[in-house]
Homo-oligomer: A and B are copies of this chain.
Amino acid sequence: MTTSEIPDIIVGRLPRYLRTLELMHDQGIATTSSKDLGDQLGISAAQIRKDLSQFGGFGKQGTGYNIPYLIQQLRAILNVDRVWDMAVIGAGDLGHALARYQGFLKRGFRVAMVFDNNPEKIGKKIGDIIIQDSSEMIPAIRGAGIKIAMLTVPGKAAQDVTDDLVKAGIRAILSYAPIVLTVPDDVHVQNIDPVTRLQRMTYYLD
């Protein structure tokens, strides 16, 4: 199976399929249909069938999708059939929340390091993780081979920190900073933004 030519827009929908399937699985549901999945996600059944057919298709006409099997396949495609270590940059409220979040580990991610430049925070612990000095970030991340960072620093510092993360070998950045980050082509950035999600709902409010 060659996945290198899958359009990014389809790749972007796969984690949402996986998430919904995992929630169904937690509820004890064993099979689903493209229509069921689509209804939960606001995506057409035809689109879901078309997306999954890019990877060979996983359902049978009339019997639907086997949820545990489809979860396994999507995890393999998305490279989350393993645990990825991550670094959290910025130990403010949001950095603390991310470092403590229990939902990462069962879905393939683990916060391994937290960095801040505030001397009052450096050396303190969040759970089992000691907050490290940002000035040691590049060798620490590089030494541990960490490829994923979550960025919670203020907007004005975000680009400089990002440049350092690239030097440290980071390849994927989940950014909470309200700016567009400039990165090399082989580094991926996802901006996560509560306001965008709120605005999707206010459309429907009077």
List residues of chain A with CB under 8 Å of any chain B CB. 3, 8-9, 11-12, 14-16, 18-19, 23, 27, 40, 42-43, 77-80, 84, 86, 92-94, 96-98, 100-101, 103-104, 107-109, 147-148, 150, 171-172, 174, 178-180, 188, 190, 192-205
Contact = CB atoms under 8 A, between A and B. Distances in A.
A199 B97 contact: no
Contacts of A196: 15-16, 18-19
A192 B197 contact: yes
B84 A93 contact: no
Contact of A190 (B8, B174, B178, B201): B201
A148 B3 CA distance: 40
A109 B198 contact: yes
A202 B12 contact: no
A98 to B, nearest CB: 7
A107 B8 CA distance: 28
B11 A200 contact: yes
A178 B15 contact: no
A96 B8 CA distance: 34
Given A103-B195, A195-B109, A205-B147, A190 B180 contact: no
Contacts of A27: 180
Contacts of A11: 200, 203-204
